[in-house]
Each structure stands twice: as C-alpha cells, then as structure tokens.
Amino acid sequence: MTQPVDKHRPAHEDAEACWRREYAEQIGPHAQVRNRSGIEVKPLYTPRDWDSARFDAQLGYPGQPPYARGIYPTMHRGRTWTQRQLIGLGTPVNYNARLLDLLAQGATAVSLIPCNSVFRGYDMDESPFELLGTCGVVANHWAHMDRCLEGVDIVATSCALNDPSPFTLLAFLLASAKKRGVDWGSVTGTSNQSDCISHFVANHMFFRIALQGARKLLVDHIEFCNTHVPRWNPMSVVGQHMQQAGATPAEAMAFTLSSAIQYADDCIARGMDPDVFLPRFTFFFDVSISFFEEIAKFRAGRRIWARVARDRWAARDPRSWRFKFHAQTSGVDLTRQQPLNNISRVTIQAMAGILGGLQSLHTDSYDEALSCPTEFGARIAVATQNILREEAHLTDVIDPVGGSHYIETLTDQMEAEILRLMKVVEEAGGMYEAVEQGIVQKMIGESARRFQRQVETGEQTVVGVNAYQVDEDASAQPALARPDPALMRAHLEAFKAWKAARSQAEVRSALDALAGSTHDAKANIFGAVVSAAEAGCTHGEICATLRRELGFGHPLLVV
C-alpha cells in the first residue's frame, strides 16, 4: 500500500525556509533553551541534523555494537526489566514481611537497604537508639541476613545488597547460603554501590574506609567474587550519587565512566582477564525528569563503554562490551509541596529510563520528600512500574525513539560532552587523582548551585514550589513510618545476648586474621571478611578492624 502524498506540499528547501520565517515571526524574542548538561536545544530537528545515512555507524541493531539501541537483541520485548524496589526498615523480621509482600505484588528481585548505622559501619549497640531502623533494616551479622531472606529462594531471586567496602552484607549472605546448603556458585545479585569513589565524592553514606584502602579492598572483592561467586556482580559503578548531589546528566555519566575505567585498569594491573571481570560490571544511575536528555545520556553511555572495553582493554567477549545499568528515579526532583504530583514525576522519569534501555529500575515513592517512604507510597511506586510495563505498550518496540532527528542529534552531542569531561579527568591523572584533588567535587558543587539559582529565579519551573502553588491539603501528608521501639529494643537485646554467647576465641582469631590480611599484599582482604562473617563477627567489628588498619574514610569536602 502506498501512502497518500499531499500534492500541495512545498518542495523540501522551500518548506524549510518557509518554516524558519514563520517560526521567527511568531516566536518573537526568546531566550536560548539549554538542557541540564548545558547543551543548546533547538526548536526543531531535521535530516540536516541527523539522517539515516549514519544508521550503521551510530545506530545499528540492538545487541550489536555500537549498542545505541540496547545491549540485547530482544531488549524489553524479551525480558522487560528487573523490578527492583529498594526496601529496608526496622528489624530483619519487619524487612522480611515487607519483602515477601513486594515480591507478591510483582517485584522480581530483592533489594536491601540497611540502616544508616550499618551504612556508617556501626553495630546497633554502638548507635543512638532513636535512629535505629528509621531508614533501613538493622542487620549486623549473618543470622540477621538469614532472617531478612527467610522464605526467599536465594538461587532463583537476584539479591541487590547496598553494600560497598568491606562488603559485609555479601559476606553475611554467603555465610547464610552455606548454612542453607546453597552453593556459592549459584548465588546471584549485585553489590550495589560498591563504587568507593562515588561515596568519596558525593552522598558519602558508605564511605567508611580511607580511599586507598577501599581501592585495594574493591579489587580484592571483584577477584574473590569472580572466583568463588561467579554469578555475582561485584562491581556497581554509581552515577546516581553524583547526579543527586548536583552533577548534570553529562557530568554524572562522564565521571561514572571515568571511575569504571579506573576500576578496570586496577583489575588489569592485578593481572585479571577483562573477559572475566568486565561482564560482571554493572552501572547504577539517577534518572531525572529532563526526559529526552536522560534518554540520550544512556544511549551515549552505552556507545562509549562498548568502545572503551574493546579499545582500552581489548575485551573480546561481547558480554564485556555491554553497558548493563540499573536506574533509580530522581529523589531530588520530587517536591514536598503537593506531594501526590510526585507520582507524575516518577512516571516521567521512569519512562526516560525505560526508553533509555535500562535493565533494572527502582521507582521512588511519592512521599520521599516528606519522610522515608511509607508502605502506601511504595505500593504506588510498584504499581507505576506494572502500568508502564504492561499497560502502556512501552515495551512493544525496541528503542522506539531511535532514528528521531532530535534524539540522535542529542545522543551525539551528549556523547561529545561526556567525552570532553572524561578527558578532563584523564588529564588530571584518572578518577582517583581527580577526586583527591577535588576537581570533580568542585564541578558538581557548581552545578548544584547553578540549578538552585535557576529554581530561585524561576528560570526552571518546579510545580508547587516556584509556580502553581496552592494551599496545601494536610490530608495528603503520608502517615509516618517508624519502627516499633519495643520490637527494636528486643532486637537490640537479642543481639547483645547473641554476641555474648559466641565463641569469643573464634571471633578474636578471625578479626586478627582480617587485620593481618591488610598488611599482606598477596592476601585477599574480602576473603578474610567472609571468613570473619562465618566465624560470627559482626558488621561493626569487621568495619572497626578495617578502619583501624586502613584509616577512617574522611570525604574531601569542597564547598
């Protein structure tokens, strides 16, 4: 069937000139439009900007280099994405109940967020009681982890543990697996946020050990997992912290790729095979409400990573070239004002991530600007994913935005900007050097201030904050979710009793071996962490030992 053609349409050249004239007349004087990464956005894109002659070189087919269209041949039409909601509150018993509930609602993987006391490397008996369990689950030793995952098949369900250096939660999981008779070779999941640089630079939550010690531990962890837990992803390189701290989308992508390069270089220097460790690298990004820019960010990142993997480390296995990423919708874009509006924001952000080709998604709860997410808020976030996946037909076509003059132009421009920023880092001597000098922190801080200025001047509209304000309806405020103090008190007392009943000699000897491993270049420190976890050492004891030997993690602050 041929498409009907409008005989009255002007010839192409005339048409463009005509549009230019009419546009200029009607738009009047107006400010330039720039996206968050500073790239000028034009009112219209045509084949003059991008045409399909560049199809093979820059677009191609899904599952093939340059991977602009996605890393798998089937993309979301085959296996959509992993629905991975971050959860964590209260005691392991509370956590387990909520986890089983979310899995029943459609979540397909476990994500565990520990209490901030755990984040900072402390046990519950060395933390202020009023904070325990208010932002995550209080899990301090292997049996706590085992209780968190009671009734969960840890072979069939991928576990994402928010667990960087010294990776105690994974150590607890491995100890629990052994008790359950599960072979470590069948345990799957990710050490989320194992990227120590991102914590040094931004958000700092997990920055427990001084940077160079964390650097050694990270490579040990990758090596240990590659050998003993081969289906585990030990490396999660994080752009989310930096973007939440204020980095533009291009900066966040550039700095993340620069960190990944640094980590892979370290693995190569250790003598590891790129086609063993690279397939187990994953990425974790923020996805903001700057819709098209985010889509282009992910497409550009995929192309760059595939090139770097082949050019820099001569990786041959296509699995090493694939830029696998998890995305979390941006909490910074959410507002306290008219909080239900955040459901719309999360939906738009999630769509950008999906069209950008993500592998795994966390949608924020609408109430995150008011409190730690409530169960009600988390249910809506899960439903949002179900709607996007199964009602909206977003997954019918692979890379549905591919070939758009705008998207392809923007992808090229974002790629150029990301490469420019990566060069700044490379010239500083790599990411460790750049962050130890504060170069990256300074750029992120400047971007955060610039964005805030744009909100203050009204240049950037935020509905309910600087425009369309309404009198708030107090009924929209969510009910406060806090752990039951009596349950937490019982959890604390049980923990103290458990500690007292352990074989103290075994604990002492495991911690001594752990301390010793830090002074032996040939020893694997993470291996010693796993042995300590199996011997009944607690999170706080393991962290304290490593802090003593390797130094406390002070972030470098650039204000």
Partner 1 sequence: MDIRPKVLIAKIGFDGHDRGSRVVASFLRDAGMEVIYTPPWQEIPTIVKLATEEDVDVIGISSLATDHLLVPALMRALREAGLDTVAVIVGGIVPDADETALLESGVARVFHPGTSLQDIAACIHDLMPGIRARRTTIEETP
**What distance in Å separates the CA atoms of residue 197 and residue 255, rounded to the nearest whole number?**
10
**What distance in Å separates the CA atoms of residue 356 and residue 287, rounded to the nearest whole number?**
10
Query: Of 110, 162, 108, whose CA–CA distance to 135 is shortest?
Result: 162
Distances, alpha carbon 434 to alpha carbons 422, 442, 516, in Å: 11, 10, 31
- Where helices occur in 127-193 by DSSP H, the ranges are 142-148, 168-180
Residue 316 CB-density burial (10 A; 0-12 exposed, 13-18 middle, 19+ buried): exposed
| Largest CA-CA distance found in the chain, in angstroms, rounded | 91
Least Å distance, CB 222 to partner 1, is 24
Looking at the Cβ atoms of 419 and 487, the one nearer to partner 1 is: 487
Token readout for 367 is: 């109430």
Q: What does the binding site for partner 1 look like in residue numbers (CB under 8 A)?
A: 116-117, 119-120, 127-128, 130-131, 134-135, 199, 202-205, 207, 244-246, 332, 334-337, 368-372, 445, 448-449, 452, 456, 462, 464-466, 474, 477, 480, 554-555, 557, 559
Residue 366 CB-density burial (10 A; 0-12 exposed, 13-18 middle, 19+ buried): buried
Looking at the Cβ atoms of 245 and 308, the one nearer to partner 1 is: 245
Least Å distance, CB 502 to partner 1, is 26
Query: Of 244, 239, 293, 257, whose CA–CA distance to 448 is shortest?
Result: 244
Token readout for 222 is: 């990758």
Least Å distance, CB 19 to partner 1, is 39
- Where helices occur in 184-244 by DSSP H, the ranges are 196-201, 211-228, 240-244
Least Å distance, CB 33 to partner 1, is 24
Looking at the Cβ atoms of 304 and 346, the one nearer to partner 1 is: 346
Least Å distance, CB 203 to partner 1, is 5
Looking at the Cβ atoms of 199 and 389, the one nearer to partner 1 is: 199
Token readout for 522 is: 């040939």
Looking at the Cβ atoms of 134 and 320, the one nearer to partner 1 is: 134
**What distance in Å separates the CA atoms of residue 167 and residue 183, rounded to the nearest whole number?**
19
Least Å distance, CB 307 to partner 1, is 32
Least Å distance, CB 459 to partner 1, is 14
**Which residues make beta-bridge pairs with 238?**
284
Is the separation of the CB atoms in 327 and 285 below 8 Å? yes
Looking at the Cβ atoms of 144 and 204, the one nearer to partner 1 is: 204
Least Å distance, CB 490 to partner 1, is 20
Please count the other Cβ atoms lying within 10 Å of the Cβ belonging to residue 181.
6
Q: Is the dihedral of CA 205, 107, 158, 260 positive or negative?
A: negative
Least Å distance, CB 340 to partner 1, is 15
Distances, alpha carbon 251 to alpha carbons 202, 246, 257, 406, 461, in Å: 13, 9, 10, 21, 22
Looking at the Cβ atoms of 103 and 463, the one nearer to partner 1 is: 463
